[in-house]
Amino acid sequence: MSAVKSTCRQFDSSSAPGYARGVSAPNDRQPPVSADIFGHQPRSSAFAMRSLGAKTFFRPREAAAMGVDSRTLRRLVDDGSVERVARGLYRVAEAEPTEHYTLAAVCARVPGAIVCLLSALSVHGLGTQLPWQEWIAIPHKARAPRLPELPVKVVRFSGASLRYGVENVVFEGVPARITSPARTVVDCFRFRRLVGRDVALEALRDALRDRQASVGEILRTAEVCRARSLVVPVLEVLAG
């Protein structure tokens, strides 16, 4: 009997050094409640914010690629470190917004879009228009984006107009594309029924006066975009 008691004492976890009665020995220890079923610990908020860095806007899959999982992202939203701008789009709260904040949000939601017309005029500083919508172009057969929480005006480009006179830019850390000054002027004539002929004329005068585009650049762009008949008569009047 004494041998049995001795053996039982050897396997009594309460007798293990540093463990009170009822506390499991190291080999029996369970993962913390906050860990997932695999025992993985969630990223700390500080680590997550360092991972996001200076990226103003991002999507959940981009955060995941940087090591910030969905649970950590929810925690960052709850504590105010990250803002939910729109469905599937987030923003680092401490990032200083610029005048192109909404435009950056739209470009983040529609990566293939081209900033054009009134929005492009505003970015280039041409004319006096202050658009309340962000104007973007998408391929002719592409499905129109559904962005009820963001003010967007969508137009369609096709063929060479999807590439010619389109520049790469960055808005608040978001890669985007925008029509060049010359291309924007020509587009205003092409879409004059949407933006107004007076807007197109003002953009043309400003682009030439500020030397953001030359007559040659505008003529070449008009040729590619099949708008020569719309632009040449106006240039002749201005030159005359």
Where in the chain are the domains? 45-92, 101-239
Positive or negative, the CA dihedral 28, 31, 37, 39 is negative
What would the mean pLDDT of 142-159 be, rounded to a whole number?
Answer: 91
Residue that wins the pLDDT comparison between 14 and 236: 236
CB 113 within 8 A of CB 175: no
Count of CB atoms within 10 A of residue 193's CB? 7
Is residue 52 scored above 70 in pLDDT? no
What would the mean pLDDT of 18-39 be, rounded to a whole number?
Answer: 43
Helix or strand run (H / E) with residue 74: helix 70-78
pTM of the model: 0.71
Which range among 9-18, 46-55, 83-92 has the greatest average pLDDT?
A: 83-92
- Distance (Å, whole) CA 188 – CA 198: 10
* Amino acid 18: pLDDT: 45
* Amino acid 178: pLDDT: 98
What percent of the chain shows pLDDT beyond 90? 47
- The strand pairing partners of 179, in sequence order, are 166
Over the chain, what is the mean pLDDT? 82
- Distance (Å, whole) CA 210 – CA 202: 12
- The strand pairing partners of 57, in sequence order, are 91
The predicted-structure confidence for 200-215, as pLDDT tens digits, reads as follows: 999 999 999 999 999 9
Burial class (CB in 10 A: 0-12, 13-18, 19+), 80: exposed
* Amino acid 36: pLDDT: 39
Is residue 4 scored above 60 in pLDDT? no
- The strand pairing partners of 227, in sequence order, are none
What would the mean pLDDT of 85-107 be, rounded to a whole number?
Answer: 83
CB 151 within 8 A of CB 134: yes
The predicted-structure confidence for 152-193, as pLDDT tens digits, reads as follows: 999 999 999 999 999 999 988 788 999 999 999 999 999 999
Burial class (CB in 10 A: 0-12, 13-18, 19+), 81: middle
* Amino acid 24: pLDDT: 45
